[in-house]
Amino acid sequence: MKNLNATKFLAFSLLIVLAGCQQYSLVQAERVSISENFSVEPDTNWNKRTTDGAEIWTIDGESLQSLRLFKGLGDGDTLFKLANAERQENMPTYSDTMSLLEIREFIETSLVQSNATNVKGGVFEPRKFAGHDGFRFYVTFFDKNGLQIKGFVEGAKAKGKLFVVFNYGAKLYYYDKHLKNVENMIQSAQIANAQS
């Protein structure tokens, strides 16, 4: 009887855990459309889930390493969609009139509003992204669990949208683990029929 109760408890616990799990799908090593205009070609398989404005890709699990590919932000869009209504209300919004440095500030402020702490921006550099004048800047912060995170944000404005890739992971080991794959993918980025 005790074994039967223990089995029922274990099954019930497993159902609770599974109910809280995100739905992921496999991303194969081939060209993938993130949105109508934006695509990339990974050189290895990833797992992904989709949110309103982005796809979140991971190999080792989101808490350790993630790649966010934003579908294209337009005027009035926020970088993150939060469950907390008050925090969402305070989330900064994107404007197509922003300079590259204002975009950096927009992204850093969005991180702070999303519960990242001790956000520190690093080197900011202009660079080409998908053939367009864009930027890359580095950032470190602590996540809600106190894990130190290292990452970079790269993107460009095109077709009246801001296309952004945000790569980040645990500073120890996981940030560097798939960095070559991420860099190769960024080199493959295409924005179709875009006008700068």
pLDDT higher than 80, residue 17: no
Predicted pLDDT of residue 85: 78
Tell me the pLDDT tens digit for each residue of 146-171.
Answer: 999 999 999 999 988 999 999 999 99
* Pairing verdict, β 190-191 and 161-170: unpaired
pTM value is 0.84
Calpha distance 155→174 (Å, rounded): 22
Residue ranges of domains in the chain, CATH in brackets: 24-191 (3.40.1000.10)
Tell me the pLDDT tens digit for each residue of 58-96.
Answer: 999 999 999 999 999 999 999 998 887 777 888 999 999
Residues 140, 120: contact at Cβ < 8 Å?
A: yes
